[in-house]
């Protein structure tokens, strides 16, 4: 047999509350697109960080191109030819895209050369991005593009991708797959982590399955079905969603003639936005990342503190001039797309993260009751199957999917009248995604109005009762889910809708 590009033997990594990797062995050949599959908390991201030098193993050996290597940090990994795109981005917010990319490249290159390289790579791979934009002005999808371009610019021999398509459109995913197949044909090995089973079956030629930190199976995913891969990964098929029948209630959220200029040069202006969400329905908003989704969410939640005289009301009460806390008192709750730093404070524990949006968790006079907080956190952990070391576990110690389940549980547990949820299952395994979607549907059935913002068309079609599309800061007329098609929604993502052809709901 030929020498593998990467060979892991007996990799073990222990943390105080969990064994993340337990005697893991994987073999990846040159030119192979190799999936690493497992539920949230199975140890996938830890294993990838070990290969990239961001985490040191407690035991085991790593061979790269036939040579035993000790990778002490990401710089050594990059020198070997290993590049990684993280699920949670490693970008500096206060500097530009080009400067972020420059940090990880050969110091001999000038910033001007890096800018041009970004433009060339972005154009070739359909990952358009402005190299001069400050990172803090980018949407999550645009940050993902920066990470992918940065990795590709190193011309890697081994490329590690952790949920690379989680915030990409179907068209961008298709283009990315073309790029990855070309890289593989040139001899680059690719380690691919994704919870999208159809992607793994379409793209990957080998698959290693992790469960509870151990290797539980190796297979050719192209010979498997979604159901068989689910069984390998979580031991069962994900539960079916409950029946779809619903009955609209009174208008809860009413947005009328909402226009807001962008807060910075790189933002998106909101232009004459009109829509409503009724009690007991889910209205989905589709769109390519960076078309005004973030600006709309900030305007609805009150995070955009600029005073506007008209535009947003909840059950007939104007919210346009209310700050976030007063909107929450009216029953508006938000699950943001950014888990760490916005949805949760990374360094503090789960119990105290409840205080971000659950003012009722405070005792009399504003005193914090630690026992009450811990019990409330425990209840969310139990109800949503969150894998964590208990209420005292720091938010940053959880896997992305488990932290997402906790945040969703925190907001649903507040019994909102309106839940705004953005990218609810980004980077979440099939079992956890089904659980989150079931919880959202149950909330709708209990009479809550839900505004769902997602870049996953499958998710929008699965959950929404009506669909809207946002493009260039404008929102389309609503379209009943039964009348919506991927082709129609895809065309509308470019702003190509005719106001006369559809009826406002």
Is the pLDDT higher at 141 or at 325? 325
- Give the domain-ending residue among 392, 410, 428: 410
Whether residues 366 and 259 share a domain: the answer is: no
Of 200, 234, 268, the domain-final residue: 234
Please tell me the predicted confidence (pLDDT) of residue 296.
94
Q: Is residue 337 part of a domain?
A: no
- Work out the percent of the chain whose per-residue pLDDT is above 90: 53
Same domain, 316 and 459: yes
Domain annotation covers residue 450: yes
Q: Is residue 370 part of a domain?
A: yes
Question: Which CATH number does the domain housing residue 258 bear?
Answer: 3.40.50.300
Note whether residue 338 is domain-resident: no
Q: Is residue 1 part of a domain?
A: no
Number of C-beta neighbours around residue 27 at 10 A: 17
Mean pLDDT of all residues in 176-187:
88
Does residue 167 lie within any of the structural domains? yes
pLDDT at 503: 42
140, burial (CB in 10 Å: exposed 0-12, middle 13-18, buried 19+)? buried
Q: Which residue has the higher pLDDT, 400 or 20?
A: 20
My answer on whether 316 and 377 are in the same domain is no
Task: Name the domain count of the chain.
Answer: 3
* 212: confidence class by pLDDT, cuts 50, 70, 90: confident
Name the residue with higher pLDDT: 450 or 140: 450
Run of H or E residues at 19:
strand 18-28
Tens-digit pLDDT profile for residues 242-267: 656 667 799 999 999 999 998 877 78
Domain match, 315 and 449 both: yes
Q: Which residue has the higher pLDDT, 84 or 236?
A: 84
Instruction: Specify whether 227 is located in the same domain as 243.
Output: no
Domain boundary among 353, 382, 410: 410
Three-class secondary structure of residue 334 per DSSP: strand
pLDDT of residue 85: 87
Judge if 261 and 205 occupy the same domain.
no
Q: Are residues 401 and 452 in the same domain?
A: no
Model confidence band, residue 18 (pLDDT cutoffs 50, 70, 90): confident
Q: Quick one: 158 and 230 in the same domain? A: yes
**Based on the domain organization, do 364 and 217 belong to the same domain?**
no
Place of tokens 């079916």: 240
246 and 209 assigned to the same domain: no
Instruction: Using the Cα atoms of residue 48, residue 54, residue 60 and residue 65 in order, give the sign of their dihedral.
Output: positive
The domain containing residue 471 runs over which residues?
239-331+416-505
Together in a domain, 142 and 247:
no
- Residue scoring higher pLDDT (173 or 6): 6
Judged against a pLDDT cut of 90, whether residue 99 lies above it is answered with: yes
- Quick one: which H or E segment has residue 296? helix 293-301
Please indicate, yes or no, if residue 201 is contained in any of the structural domains. Answer: yes
Lowest mean pLDDT among 225-234, 361-370, 478-487: 361-370
| Mean pLDDT (whole number) for 388-405 | 89
Cα–Cα–Cα angle for 72, 73, 79, rounded to 5 degrees: 100
**Whether 405 and 423 share a structural domain:** no
What integer is the mean pLDDT of 21-42? 92
| Span 116-128, pLDDT tens digits | 999 998 887 777 7
In a domain, 457, yes or no: yes
Per residue in 67-85, pLDDT (tens digit) is 999 999 998 999 999 999 8
What's the Cα-to-Cα distance from 486 to each of 237, 392, 480, 499, rounded to whole Å?
26, 44, 13, 19
Taking the C-alpha atoms of residue 254 and residue 315, their distance in angstroms, rounded to an integer, is 8
């Amino acid at each position: 047999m030929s020498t593998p590009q990467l060979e892991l033997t007996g990799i073990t990594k222990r943390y105080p509350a969990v064994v993340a990797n337990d005697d893991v062995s994987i073999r990846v050949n040159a030119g192979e697109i190799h999936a690493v599959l497992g539920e949230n908390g199975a140890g996938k991201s830890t294993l990838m960080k070990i290969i990239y030098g961001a985490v040191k193993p407690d035991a085991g050996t790593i061979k790269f191109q036939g040579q035993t290597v000790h990778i002490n940090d990401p710089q050594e990994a990059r020198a070997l030819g290993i590049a990684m795109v993280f699920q949670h981005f490693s970008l500096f917010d206060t500097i530009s895209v080009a400067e972020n990319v420059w940090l990880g490249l050969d110091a001999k290159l000038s910033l001007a050369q890096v800018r041009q390289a970004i433009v060339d790579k972005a154009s070739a791979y359909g990952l358009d991005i402005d190299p001069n934009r400050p990172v803090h002005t980018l949407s999550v999808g645009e940050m993902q593009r920066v990470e992918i371009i940065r990795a590709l610019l190193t011309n890697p021999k081994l490329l590690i991708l952790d949920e690379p398509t989680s915030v990409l459109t179907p068209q961008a995913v298709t283009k990315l797959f073309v790029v990855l197949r070309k890289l593989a044909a040139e001899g680059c090995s690719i380690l691919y982590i994704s919870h999208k089973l159809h992607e793994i079956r379409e793209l990957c030629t080998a698959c290693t399955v992790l469960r509870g930190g151990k290797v539980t199976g190796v297979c050719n995913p192209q010979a498997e079905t979604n159901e068989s891969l689910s069984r390998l990964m979580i031991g069962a098929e994900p539960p079916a969603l409950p029946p779809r029948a619903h009955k609209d209630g009174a208008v809860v959220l009413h947005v009328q003639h909402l226009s807001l200029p962008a807060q910075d040069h790189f933002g998106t202006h909101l232009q004459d936005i009109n829509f409503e969400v009724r009690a007991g329905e889910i209205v989905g908003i589709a769109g390519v990342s960076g078309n005004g989704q973030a600006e709309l969410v900030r305007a609805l939640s009150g995070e955009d503190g600029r005073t506007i005289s008209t535009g947003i009301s909840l059950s007939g009460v104007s919210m346009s001039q209310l700050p976030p806390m007063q909107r929450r008192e009216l029953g508006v709750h938000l699950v943001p797309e950014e888990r760490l730093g916005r949805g949760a404070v990374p360094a503090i524990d789960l119990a105290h993260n409840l205080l971000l949006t659950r003012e009722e968790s405070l005792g009399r006079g504003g005193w914090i009751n630690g026992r009450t907080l811990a019990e409330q956190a425990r209840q969310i952990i139990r109800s949503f199957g969150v894998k964590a070391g208990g209420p005292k576990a720091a938010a940053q110690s959880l896997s992305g999917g488990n932290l997402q389940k906790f945040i969703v549980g925190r907001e649903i547990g507040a019994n909102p009248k309106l839940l705004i949820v953005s990218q609810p299952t980004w980077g979440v395994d099939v079992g956890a995604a089904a659980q989150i979607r079931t919880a959202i549907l149950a909330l709708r059935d209990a009479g809550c109005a839900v505004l769902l913002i997602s870049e996953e068309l499958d998710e929008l079609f699965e959950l929404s009762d009506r669909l809207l599309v946002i493009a260039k800061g404008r929102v389309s007329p609503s379209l009943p889910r039964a009348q919506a098609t991927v082709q129609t929604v895809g065309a509308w993502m470019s702003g190509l809708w005719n106001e006369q052809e559809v009826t406002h709901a």
